[in-house]
Amino acid sequence: MGTTASSRRSAGLDLLRLLAACGIIMIHVLGQGGALYTDNPTAELVPWFFGALSYGAVDCFALISGYVGQGRRVRFASLASLELQTLLYSVGITAVLQLLSHGRIWLGFRDVFPTLTLRYWYFSAYTALFCLTPFLNRALASLERRPLLLCSLGLVLVLSLADTTSSRDPFALEGGFCTLWLLALYLLGGFLGRFRPLDRLPGWALCLIWLFTLVLGWLIRYFHVEPLEALAAGYTSPFTVLGACCLIALFSRLRLRRCGGTITWLAGSSFALYVIHAHPRFSSWLLAGSLSGILTLSSPEQVGRILLRVGLVAGVCLLIDLPRRLIWRLLRVPERLSRLEERLRGRFIREEVTSGE
**pLDDT-derived band of residue 260, with 50, 70 and 90 as boundaries?**
confident
Domain chopping of the chain, boundaries: 5-356
pLDDT mean across residues, the chain: 89
- Note the pLDDT of residue 266: 94
The type of residue at 92 is G
Mean pLDDT of the region 72-90: 93
Burial string for 191-225 (b: 16+ CB within 10 Å, else e) reads bbbbeeebeeeeeeebeebbeebbebbbbbbbeee
Mean pLDDT of the region 293-298: 90
- The answer to whether 38 and 199 are in contact (CB under 8 A) is no
Q: CA–CA distance from 215 to each of 22, 23, 44, 84, 244 (Å)?
A: 20, 16, 15, 39, 14
Alpha carbon 133 to its chain centroid, in Å, reads: 17
Q: Does the pLDDT value for residue 354 go beyond 70?
A: no
Higher pLDDT, 21 or 168: 21
**pLDDT-derived band of residue 350, with 50, 70 and 90 as boundaries?**
low
Distance in angstroms (rounded) separating the CA atoms of residues 70 and 350: 27
Mean pLDDT of the region 244-256: 93
Mean pLDDT of the region 62-91: 94
Weakest mean pLDDT among 38-47, 133-142, 212-221: 38-47
DSSP secondary structure string for all residues of 82-127 = HHHHHHHHHHHHHHHHHHHTTTSS---HHHH-TTTTTSSHHHHHHH
Higher pLDDT, 67 or 231: 67
- The answer to whether 217 and 240 are in contact (CB under 8 A) is yes
DSSP secondary structure string for all residues of 166-181 = -SS-TT--GGG-SHHH
* % of the chain surpassing 70 pLDDT: 95
Phi and psi at 126, nearest 5°, equal: -70, -35
- The answer to whether 33 and 287 are in contact (CB under 8 A) is yes
pLDDT, tens only, 96-127: 888 887 777 788 888 999 999 999 999 999 99
**pLDDT-derived band of residue 349, with 50, 70 and 90 as boundaries?**
low
Mean pLDDT of the region 41-57: 90
- Note the pLDDT of residue 259: 87
- Residue 224: in which H helix or E strand, if any? none
- Note the pLDDT of residue 40: 79
